[in-house]
Amino acid sequence: MRKGLRLGVDLGGTSVKLALVDERGRLHDKIAVDTVKQPRALVKRLSEALRPWSNRSLLGTGVGVAGDVDTRKGVVRFSANLGWRRVALAGLFRKFKFPSPIVLDNDANAAAWGGYHLELGARPKSLITLTLGTGVGGGLVLDGELYRGVTGSAGEIGHLVVQDGGDPCACGNRGCLESYLGASAMVRWARAAYAKKKQVVEPLDPKILEQRALRRDPVAQEAYARAAQALGTALTSLVNLLNPDTILFTGGVARGATLFLPQALKILKSGAFKTPATAVRIVVARGKTDLGVAGAGLLVT
């Protein structure tokens, strides 16, 4: 990783974070801008927001985008959050004279790369990252390199199938890890379970569900038990498949890890091969919220 500052851009559906990122992933300055859905108008707005940094010498621009990204061509193939289809985003950044090279990747990959450097000091040889929020994101660092797969689509850990014919998932399939462990899936399941018991629990959101589980509410506890079972099943396969030295949990739901992680690890220890299951280190992120923008900056190596 070259010494010096690069520009990191974390492009989400509601806001865009921009930061000056050094070679260790530390942020030196940051700003946030509301997202505009029209790509050209958005990049123009970002270039205007950058003016205070115009006299800084930067090594390049790394961009993490919520969506399916063609890293080699610098094209966003599809983004549900942004409503984009085939947007040549790297070209737009070039047109508005952002520091080059301009490197584009999926935001979950960028966050995994950020976690690898910021949370773990780039020490592990191989790392699996799970980002637990509304959905379940994932990223793989194998032998010290971000693993993207042949079309840049690798690391979709949230869509590992853990239950044949199980609960429907936003991706169109059934039984994905996300449909048990994602915050919105957990809330949806709990709402239906309360309705079945003719229990009125309103409002209900991930935070309230977590508090109810901590107070031993049976429905909330069951939602977490289902999440733990699904996660344990996924971890068993992941550890047997990849033999990583570290698994890192980040994101809002990871903060309630005591409610599901011990049970999931029990399933992992009893299900996976003994040697890789004993060797793997489990880390819950210390709560840095800027892994996405830091990792985006670090895409410029």
Applying CB under 5 A, which residues contact Zn ion?
159, 169, 171, 173, 176
Residue 65 is classified by DSSP as: E
Taking the C-alpha atoms of residue 65 and residue 92, their distance in angstroms, rounded to an integer, is 14
> What is the closest distance, in whole angstroms, from the C-beta atom of residue 156 to Zn ion in the complex?
8
Taking the C-alpha atoms of residue 70 and residue 283, their distance in angstroms, rounded to an integer, is 30
The vertex-74 CA angle with 68 and 79, nearest 5°, equals 25
> What is the closest distance, in whole angstroms, from the C-beta atom of residue 67 to Zn ion in the complex?
15
- As a 3-state breakdown, the chain gives helix, strand, coil percent values, each rounded to 5, of 40, 25, 35
Residue closer to Zn ion by CB (options 176, 261) is: 176
> What is the closest distance, in whole angstroms, from the C-beta atom of residue 261 to Zn ion in the complex?
21
Residue closer to Zn ion by CB (options 5, 128) is: 128
Say how many residues make up the chain: 301
H helical segments located in the chain: 39-49, 89-95, 107-118, 178-181, 183-196, 206-214, 218-242, 261-271, 274-279, 291-298
Residue closer to Zn ion by CB (options 124, 158) is: 158
Residue closer to Zn ion by CB (options 176, 248) is: 176
> What is the closest distance, in whole angstroms, from the C-beta atom of residue 292 to Zn ion in the complex?
21
Residue closer to Zn ion by CB (options 1, 161) is: 161
Give 7's Cβ-side CA count (13 Å radius).
30
Q: Per the structure block, which two tokens stand in for 229? A: 């079972």
> What is the closest distance, in whole angstroms, from the C-beta atom of residue 130 to Zn ion in the complex?
14
Give 205's Cβ-side CA count (13 Å radius).
5
Taking the C-alpha atoms of residue 40 and residue 9, their distance in angstroms, rounded to an integer, is 15
Residue closer to Zn ion by CB (options 99, 251) is: 251
Residue closer to Zn ion by CB (options 122, 171) is: 171
> What is the closest distance, in whole angstroms, from the C-beta atom of residue 106 to Zn ion in the complex?
15
> What is the closest distance, in whole angstroms, from the C-beta atom of residue 162 to Zn ion in the complex?
10
Taking the C-alpha atoms of residue 209 and residue 193, their distance in angstroms, rounded to an integer, is 12
